[in-house]
Amino acid sequence: MQDRPPVRVVYEDPDFVVVEKASGFLSVPGRGPEKRDCVCARVRDLYPDCIPNPEVHRLDMDTSGLMVVALKVDSQRNLSEQFRLRRTRKRYTALLDGRLEGERGTIELRFRLDLENRPRQIHDAENGKLGITHWERVSIESGVTRVAFVPVTGRTHQLRVHAAHDLGLGIPIVGDPLYGGGTGPAQLKLHACELGFQHPRTGEKLDFDSTPPF
């Protein structure tokens, strides 16, 4: 998403907006004035009546793709509950830094924050929270593997850990600075390409697609 804006609105509704976030851009504010610029801040600038805290869910800074951002309190509450109850539909595309031999499967792996190396996550069979991901190999392209991920749970760095860890796929995502060979921001080849949920007011089923920039 090198030539795309940090945030691009793909759908507008009085209750929410769906945006496409660029890799290397924050979903919510970080600590310090230099990290105030983010998806939520851009949405508040575009929509003056937007609530102060419109966050519904997050993408990692280096993950690109689709996000829904609430504009009203009731919508924020409803959409957040859909994510909490796993009633949303999410699909990601990634490039793995190597050749993946399997065709499809499910990864179930417990992991937690590495307190001595934040924000890195580490496998912990006893104290970690369970992450579940369905995956499917799409193609092999010049030595890297394109895969589709469908996360069942929504743990921090779940897809990145499940890709890189030996108990997962054992191949990190291309450009991952924490779990692979990435050397800086905006290199990660992980894109939230499909997002579906129910309209928070009408209950209508909505689905959105975004073409990966890689």
Alpha helices in 49-123 (DSSP H): 73-84
pLDDT bin (cut points 50, 70, 90) of residue 35 is confident
Q: What pairing do the DSSP bridges indicate for beta strands 144-151 and 89-96?
A: antiparallel
pLDDT digits (tens, 9 = 90+) for 71-95: 999 999 999 999 999 999 999 999 9
Number of H helices, E strands in the chain: 3, 10
Q: Is 62 a catalytic residue?
A: no
**pLDDT confidence tier of residue 34, bands split at 50, 70 and 90:** confident
Three-state DSSP at 100 gives coil
Check residue 6 and give left, alpha or beta (phi > 0: left; psi -120 to 50: alpha): alpha
Determine which one of 3, 15, 60, 124 is catalytic.
60
* Confidence (pLDDT) at 3: 63
Across the range 117-137, mean pLDDT stands at: 97
pLDDT reported for residue 1:
42
Q: How confident is the model at residue 4 (pLDDT cuts 50, 70, 90)?
A: confident
Distance CA 108, CA 56 (A): 25
Asked if pLDDT for residue 191 goes beyond 50, the answer is yes
Backbone angles phi, psi at 122, to 5 degrees: -130, 150
Angle subtended at Cα 81 by Cα 206 and Cα 106, rounded to the nearest 5 degrees: 75
Mean pLDDT of 172-200: 97
Work out the pLDDT band at 32, boundaries 50, 70, 90: confident
pLDDT given at position 59: 97
CB-based burial label for 158 (10 Å; 0-12, 13-18, 19+): buried
Residue 167: band (very low, low, confident or very high) from pLDDT cuts 50, 70, 90: very high
